[in-house]
Amino acid sequence: MITTSSEPSNMAANIPLPTEGVSGGRDSKTATATCYCGTVQILFPTEGPGFVDSFVCNCSDCHKITASMFASNFIVKDSETVHVRGQDKLSKFKQSKTIASGNSMENNFCSVCGTLMYRVSSGYPGMLITRIGTVDDFDLMESKLKPRLEQFTKSRVSWFKGAEGVAQFDDAGPLGQPLPKNKM
């Protein structure tokens, strides 16, 4: 199938590049995450207590929703996250037939470009599960947002050896909790 489309009229003039450091770098207590077209942007905490955890997920749900073999995520408190722009442009898709936990999961996408901005799980009330790839300051991916754990390794494909230097769990693992001593 061949389709064509033009750029949306509300597309940001400039999608932030890794070198622009739009969020203030490693010392900033907040950062921004923006969809591909720039329509939706959130401001989130990069430190506790509003910043909860960061992780790589290999569950079958993340396989499908990302069209990839894993997802890199971070969790922030909803109450400490600000929609800078585009909240009215988020489309939501919710389902309950999700990962092994059986929780419902609501996916929040930019209705213009389709970027998955965050997920809301009934298993983590008051939290947003946000995609590391949407963060505007790429330096944070190597520092504050570097995954702490990898979950659902039992669903990981054999050709991907996993995230190096992080605790690995067959199940969801202790998101937002201290790691067991044998996993540190």
Q: Residue 82 is part of a domain; what is its CATH number?
A: 2.170.150.70
The answer to the question of residue 107 being in a domain is yes
Structure tokens belonging to residue 10: 């509300």
The answer to the question of residue 163 being in a domain is no
The answer to the question of residue 12 being in a domain is no
The answer to the question of residue 55 being in a domain is yes
According to the model, what pLDDT value does residue 77 have?
97
Terminal-to-terminal C-alpha distance of the chain:
49
The answer to the question of residue 15 being in a domain is no
According to the model, what pLDDT value does residue 102 have?
74
- pTM of the predicted structure, to 2 decimals: 0.82
Collect the ranges in the chain with pLDDT lower than 70. Answer: 1-26, 98-101, 184
According to the model, what pLDDT value does residue 18 have?
42
According to the model, what pLDDT value does residue 103 have?
80
According to the model, what pLDDT value does residue 20 have?
42
According to the model, what pLDDT value does residue 1 have?
56
According to the model, what pLDDT value does residue 184 have?
59
The count of domains in the chain is: 1
The answer to the question of residue 108 being in a domain is yes
The answer to the question of residue 3 being in a domain is no
According to the model, what pLDDT value does residue 172 have?
84
The answer to the question of residue 143 being in a domain is yes
According to the model, what pLDDT value does residue 61 have?
82
Domain that holds residue 62: 30-157
According to the model, what pLDDT value does residue 179 have?
82
